[in-house]
Amino acid sequence: MSVRYQRVGNAAVITIDRPERRNAIDRATAEALLSAWRSFDADPTALVGILTGAGGCFCAGVDLLALDLIEQAEGWLGHSRPTVSKPTIAAVAGYAVAGGLELALWCDLRVAGADAVFGCYERRFGVPLADGGTQRLPRVVGLGRALDMILTGRPVDAEEAWRMGLVNRLVPAGAELEEALRLAEALAAFPQETMRSDRRCVYQGLGRSLEEGLAIEAAAARRVLGDAVAGAARFAAGEGRSGAGVEAG
């Protein structure tokens, strides 16, 4: 199988497994990715999704030798246009380039090993960014940095990616999946309804005016007030003082 789906604790680990092709995406792999993310979203016991690649490489993008992808409503790469309802993390080793960069950007957070390399390598061959790269990259790193990457296609190493905010956690090479799993368990320990509501508000507010965004936030907050009351009671009873239990970085 070109995609493996594995439960590890509270996480679902989705692994692109075509190391002989640097985990490049052909049609069968795109369809398998879509199926895997649907399985994750439908499983109430899987609280965080992790996307990674086998063999020390995240994903080199479209398989230009197969070149058998077709555009579907969900995107060329299988799942780049729909969203899921729960947090997602990309665990990146080696190359996350072209469509691989777009898949990493689809995730909420990115954990990278020191050997990770990011870039819009499709620039060399006239292949467009068609799986969210032109929209998500500026939102993550800002317009100037995004245009630099998109127009030049240059490689961005893990250290630079971390400095520009493309990477959220930078770890030694080979430790990226372990760190992603640790982060996933930290997220899984929080009250889920409120965290998912706040995550949804962030995405729903993108591109809207501040007033519209505040209205989205206010409506969502009212729906989870029960969690807030329960959490306040736990704090009053002595839990979580001085930030205990909060992810430190």
Hunting for tokens 């001085």 — which residue is that? Answer: 242
Give residue 116's identity as a one-letter amino acid code. Answer: A
d(CA 115, CA 57): 9
Which residues, listed in sequence order, are joined to residue 156 by a DSSP beta bridge? 118
Helix, strand, coil tally for the chain in percent (to 5): 45, 15, 35
CA distances from 77 to 13, 92, 107, 208 (A): 18, 17, 14, 27
Which residues are known catalytic residues? 102, 122
d(CA 30, CA 35): 9
d(CA 93, CA 57): 5
Which residues, at least 6 apart from 32, have a Cβ–Cβ distance to it below 8 Å? Answer: 1, 2, 3, 78
d(CA 187, CA 192): 8
The DSSP bridge pattern shows strands 11-16 and 48-53 to be parallel
CB atoms within 10 A of CB 130: 17
d(CA 217, CA 204): 9
